[in-house]
Amino acid sequence: MEPVRKLSRSIAGKVALITGAASGMGRATAHIFAGEGAKVAVLDLKQDRVDAVVAEIKAEGGEAEGWALDVADGDGIIRVVKEIEARFGGLDILVNNAGAAWGADFAEYPESGWDKTMDLNVKSLFFLTQKVHGLMKAAASGDRPGKVINIASIDGIKINPWETYAYQASKAAVIHLTRRMAARLIKDNICVAGIAPGAFASEMNKAAKNAGDAVAKMIPAKRIGRDSDMAGAAVFLASRAGDYVVGDTLAVDGGVAYSQISEAWG
């Protein structure tokens, strides 16, 4: 029997890069990771919003550094990887959180919205991870694996009522891509896994932000997600406790994807 009596869920001292970390769940995860003792690299589009999150984390006694960058900017990512290495000495955790949605009636759904959504949610996730891989591989070992956490959505598991065609397809792609990337990166001692959030208040999910009580009524757990629900799952996957989770995507949704009985059954 393995001589373990107390399991480490600690991420203290680990270096984590979080994309889309200036808003919503990425920002919440950055705060909670820093609160748990991780050194956090905050990446998002706008300098002032990145600076604000870094300043908040430092004011809370955490360690953080920020980069304003589009995740589609390959050369920029290569530069940021070098700067993360210089600043923190390596990289242990990548949270691929940046994402966007586009909704439009089927007949009018624009190709531009399709491309924007697919490029950000799927293509940039893949190529950013490709560029970060070398630095993560250097820090990883069998006993201390690196962690890539892809933020999908329950919309990639179960269709929702909104006409967000590209978004729902993109998140299904993220769930399957997570499996395929996991099969390759585990060879380098990097565990790739995913989180499929349900409804969390954010700029993207304005219904949960502005009408949380109404949204909560449709959720088996009868509440929308909290920052700690999302970050709790991310801390689990990022820590020793999650070292044997490879290729799976965990639904963190109060039961919407797997525990909701259709109204059609009465």
Residues that bind ligand NAD (CB under 6 A): 19-20, 22-26, 44-45, 70-72, 97-100, 120, 151, 153, 197, 199-200, 202-205, 208
Residue 139 backbone phi and psi in degrees, to 5: -90, -10
Instruction: Return d(Cα 37, Cα 40) in angstroms, integer.
Output: 9
Comparing C-alpha atoms, which of 96, 168, 164, 156 is closest to residue 130? 96
Q: How far is the CB of 5 from ligand NAD (least distance, A)?
A: 36
Catalytic residue among 109, 165, 167, 258: 167
Q: Which is nearer to ligand NAD, 189 or 202 (CB)?
A: 202
- Give 166: exposed, middle or buried? Use CB within 10 Å, 0-12, 13-18, 19+: buried
Q: Which is nearer to ligand NAD, 19 or 249 (CB)?
A: 19
Q: Which is nearer to ligand NAD, 186 or 204 (CB)?
A: 204
Active site annotation includes 258: no
Q: How far is the CB of 39 from ligand NAD (least distance, A)?
A: 20
Would you tell me how many other CB atoms lie within 10 Å of the CB of residue 138?
A: 12
The DSSP 8-state label assigned to residue 264 in this structure reads G
Q: Which is nearer to ligand NAD, 62 or 197 (CB)?
A: 197
Q: How far is the CB of 128 from ligand NAD (least distance, A)?
A: 9
Q: Classify 260 as helix, strand or coil.
A: coil
Query: Is the Cβ–Cβ distance between 192 and 185 less than 8 Å?
Result: yes
Q: How far is the CB of 70 from ligand NAD (least distance, A)?
A: 4
Active site residues: 167
